[in-house]
Amino acid sequence: MSSEKLPAFIETCNVERKQDLSEDQEESQKPRLGNEFEPISKRQMKKLIKQKQWEEQRELRKQKRKEKRKRKQLERQCQLESNSDGNDKKRIRRDVVHSTLRLIIDCSFDSLMVLKDIKKLHKQIQRCYAENRRALHPVQFYLTSHGGQLKKNMDENDKGWVNWKDIHIKPDHYREFVKKEDLVYLTSDSPNVLKELDESKAYVIGGLVDHNHHKGLTYKQASDHGIDHAQLPLGNFVKMNSRKVLAINHVFEIILEYLETRDWQEAFFTVLPQRKGAVATDKACESSSHDKESARVEGRLDSDSSEEENSRNELDSPHEEEKQDKENSTESTVNSIPH
């Protein structure tokens, strides 16, 4: 570059530098768009207002919770004092009269069941325990031969069973701690029908969910060991569409209900599920006689209608007689076929 052009170039550079500095100053004087200066949206503003209101009303909410707890406590106390509703499901424990009757679920059939049936047995035992805790006359509840798959399933799925109250859970067989003369095995295969419950006895329910694969097993075991056996008087009071074999919890609940009402029929109809199609035996007899009477009436109406038809046919013209004779012979042939 020539010496003549050099001063002009330097001056141009100085001018550009001054312009850059002035631009930097202007930029620095502009308001920053940092976090503290960033504009707030309406949604964020609403959230902040709600949060502020929530903080301000904290004490008020606390006071309301206290009042609600006091109100519920007062309601419970009034309910306990009144206790006027006899149909109330939660019964007062102070009115409970414990029965001396021993009710045993025999769990010695563990090896005969698959895991699916073991789980069903566990659920039925849970139901028995819950019903006995709620009953007005709870029995002395025993769970014997407890171990194997059943205990493992209870340990895995119901760890609270170790804290159950009013139940005796034993790994021993019931014969080891109950006298033989006190035992009565409840089985639907027994020819003996139970008329009433003896509260000095120990009644055994077979803890077997087998879908009738081992029919007569509990009856055979009771007979082999010389243990008294009986079946509930189901046939004397109830007629069912299905077989008479009941679930463990149903037998347990029927006994609890009988101890309260001393009425077998009421106990059966209170406990048995609707799917069993249970009807009272007297009603079943009435229904059967009514069906027979209806059939007889229908038969008489059919015979009357056929006589009317024959009398009308006699008034027909002579050329119809041959045709009518054929029809009558065909009809008599059809009617002679047994139905």
CA angle 257/262/264 to nearest 5° reads 70
Distance CA 93, CA 166 (A): 13
Phi first, then psi, for residue 289 (nearest 5°) are -65, -35
How many contiguous H segments (helices) and E segments (strands) does the chain have?
Answer: 11, 8
Catalytically annotated residues: 210
Structure-token pair, residue 235: 């046939």
Q: Is the dihedral of CA 327, 330, 336, 339 positive or negative?
A: negative
Letter string b/e over residues 128-139, b meaning 16 or more CB atoms within 10 A of that residue's CB: bbebbbebebbb
Burial class of residue 218 in the structure, from the number of CB atoms within 10 Å of its CB (0-12 exposed, 13-18 middle, 19+ buried): buried
Q: Contact 250/272 with Cβ under 8 angstroms?
A: yes
Comparing C-alpha atoms, which of 163, 143, 141, 90 is closest to residue 256? Answer: 141
For the chain, state the CA radius of gyration: 43
Residue 111: count other Cβ atoms within 10 Å of its Cβ.
7
Which burial class, exposed, middle or buried, applies to 105 when counting CB atoms under 10 A from its CB (0-12, 13-18, 19+)?
Answer: buried
What SS3 string covers 236-301? HHEECCCCCCCCHHHHHHHHHHHHHHCCHHHHHHHHCCHHHCCEEHHHHHHHHHHHHHHHHHHHHH
